[in-house]
C-alpha cells in the first residue's frame, strides 16, 4: 500500500520545481537517470529507484517513463507512468513524444540536464526544432535542483533518522566484534557492514566501504578499498562506511587505535579537537566554508595540514550540497534541514592516518549529531 506521507512529499517537491519552471519560463523539463547519466533527482521527485526519464510540464504534470515499469508500479509516484517501449526506448524520440503528450506549445523552452553530452544535445536540437532547447550548467534546472535537495523536508529527515539508527547499530556491533576478535581483516570488516545493513532492510551500503588497516590507513581513501590485510592491529585502522536506506545514504568513519606511539596519540588528539571545533561552528546562517576554515587554521597552528575538505552534504547521493570546504568558490550557507558530514582527519605515510566522521543535521539551534561513530581503542 502506498505511503501517504511519501506521496505528499513527492508532490510538494515537484511543486517547488514547477514554481521554478514558471519563474524561468521553462515549459518542459527532462531529467534522465540512466547509465552514464545518473541523476537521483528523478528518485527525489517520484520515488523511482533508477533507470527512467522524467518529464515535468509547467502545467504541473509529471510523466515518468521507466525502463522497468513493474518496478515503477511498486515505487513510483507521478501523474502518468508510461512504458519506455511506448516512447521508442530512445531519449530523443521520447522527449518529442512527451512534449506532444503533455501538450507543450511549439516555440516553448525545453530544458535538458547538463549531464547531456554535447553530441546528443545536438540531436535534441535537430529533432526538436520547434522548441527552444536549453542545456545549462549554471543558473539552470540542475543548479536549482541541487539547492532544493540540499534542504531536507520532514519525510527525508524521518528517513535519515532511521538510516542513522541502523548505522549506529552497526557501529556498536563492529566495536563489539573487534574487541571480541571476530573482525581481524579489512575484508571481514567490509563484508560485515554489507551483510548486517541488508539484514536491517537497507538497499546496501551507501558507497563502497573503505577498510584500511595499519599498513594502509595513511591514505585518505585506501586503494583498493579493502583487502585481506589485517585490521585493528598496532597503530591506526580506518573504517569509512555508510548504509543506504530508502535511497538515503549515511557516511561515517571510525578510527580504531591500538598501542599508539606518542606521535600517533598527538595526531589523534588533534583530530578529536578539530572535530569538536567544527561541530561548534555548525549554525544556521553560517557560511559553509567557515567551519572548514576554522579547522584548517587549527591544524596549521599545530604544524599539520588536512588534505581534504572538512565535509559535505549527503542525501540520495553520497556527496551533495553544501560542501564544507575552505575555498573561495564555496558560496553555500548552512540552513536548517541540511544534513552534512563532519570528518576531520590527519594522515602520515609512516604513522598512518586517523579520521573521525559523523552525520549532522543542521537545526535552528545548531548541529544535531545523528550518528555515533568515533574512536575505538583496542
CATH assignment of the domain containing 317: 3.90.230.10
- The pLDDT tens digits of the residues spanning 11-50 come to 999 999 999 999 999 999 999 999 889 999 999 999 999 8
Going by DSSP bridges, is the β-strand pair 311-313/320-324 parallel, antiparallel, or unpaired? antiparallel
Query: Angle at Cα 89 formed by Cα 15 and Cα 320, nearest 5°?
Result: 45
302 pLDDT above the threshold of 90: yes
In terms of domains, do 238 and 357 share one? yes
pLDDT of 2 reads 67
Residues 77 and 185 in one domain: no
- Helix (H) / strand (E) element for 160: namely helix 154-179
Which residues are bridge partners to 66 per DSSP?
A: 52
Please give the residue range of the domain that contains residue 264: 151-377
Q: How many domains does the chain have?
A: 2
What's the first-to-final CA gap in the chain, in angstroms? 47
Residue that is last in its domain, among 149, 167, 200: 149
**Is 148:17 a contact under the CB 8 Å cutoff?**
yes
d(CA 74, CA 3): 11
Provide the pLDDT for residue 241: 98
The residue from 93, 117, 149 where one domain ends is: 149
- 102-159 pLDDT, tens digit per residue, is 999 999 999 999 989 999 999 999 999 999 999 998 889 999 999 999 999 999 999 9
Amino acid at each position: 500500500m502506498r505511503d501517504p506521507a511519501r506521496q505528499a512529499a513527492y508532490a510538494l517537491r515537484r511543486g517547488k520545481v514547477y514554481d521554478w519552471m514558471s519563474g524561468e519560463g521553462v515549459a518542459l523539463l527532462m531529467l534522465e537517470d540512466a547509465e552514464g547519466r545518473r541523476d537521483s533527482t528523478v528518485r527525489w521527485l517520484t520515488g523511482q529507484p533508477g533507470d527512467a526519464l522524467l518529464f515535468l510540464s509547467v502545467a504541473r504534470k509529471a510523466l515518468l517513463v521507466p525502463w522497468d515499469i513493474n518496478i515503477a508500479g511498486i515505487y513510483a509516484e507521478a501523474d502518468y507512468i508510461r512504458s519506455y517501449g511506448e516512447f521508442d526506448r530512445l531519449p530523443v524520440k521520447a522527449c518529442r513524444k512527451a512534449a506532444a503528450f503533455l501538450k507543450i506549445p511549439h516555440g516553448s523552452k525545453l530544458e535538458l540536464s547538463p549531464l547531456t553530452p554535447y553530441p546528443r544535445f545536438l540531436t535534441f536540437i535537430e529533432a526538436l526544432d520547434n522548441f527552444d532547447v536549453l542545456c545549462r550548467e549554471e543558473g539552470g534546472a540542475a543548479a536549482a535542483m541541487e539547492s532544493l535537495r540540499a534542504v531536507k523536508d520532514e519525510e527525508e529527515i524521518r528517513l535519515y533518522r532511521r538510516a542513522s539508527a541502523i548505522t549506529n547499530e552497526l557501529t556498536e556491533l563492529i566495536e563489539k566484534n573487534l574487541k571480541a576478535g571476530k573482525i581481524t581483516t579489512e575484508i571481514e570488516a567490509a563484508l560485515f557492514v554489507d551483510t548486517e545493513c541488508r539484514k536491517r532492510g537497507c538497499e546496501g551500503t551507501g558507497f563502497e566501504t573503505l577498510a584500511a588497516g595499519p599498513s594502509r590507513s595513511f591514505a585518505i581513501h585506501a586503494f583498493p578499498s579493502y583487502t585481506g590485510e589485517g585490521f585493528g592491529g598496532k597503530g591506526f585502522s580506518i573504517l569509512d562506511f555508510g548504509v543506504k536506506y530508502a535511497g538515503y545514504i549515511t557516511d561515517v568513519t571510525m578510527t580504531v587505535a591500538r598501542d599508539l606511539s606518542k606521535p600517533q596519540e598527538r595526531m589523534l588528539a588533534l583530530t578529536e579537537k578539530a572535530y569538536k571545533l567544527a561541530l561548534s561552528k555548525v549554525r544556521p546562517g553560517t557560511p559553509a566554508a567557515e567551519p572548514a576554515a576554522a579547522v584548517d587554521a587549527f591544524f596549521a597552528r599545530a604544524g599539520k595540514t588536512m588534505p581534504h575538505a572538512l565535509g559535505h552534504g549527503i542525501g540520495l547521493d553520497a556527496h551533495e550540497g553544501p560542501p564544507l570546504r575552505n575555498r573561495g568558490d564555496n558560496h553555500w550557507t548552512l540552513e536548517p534541514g541540511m544534513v552534512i558530514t563532519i570528518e576531520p582527519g590527519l594522515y602520515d605515510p609512516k604513522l598512518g592516518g586517523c579520521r573521525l566522521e559523523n552525520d549532522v543535521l543542521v537545526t535552528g539551534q545548531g548541529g544535531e549529531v545523528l550518528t555515533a561513530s568515533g574512536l575505538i581503542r583496542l
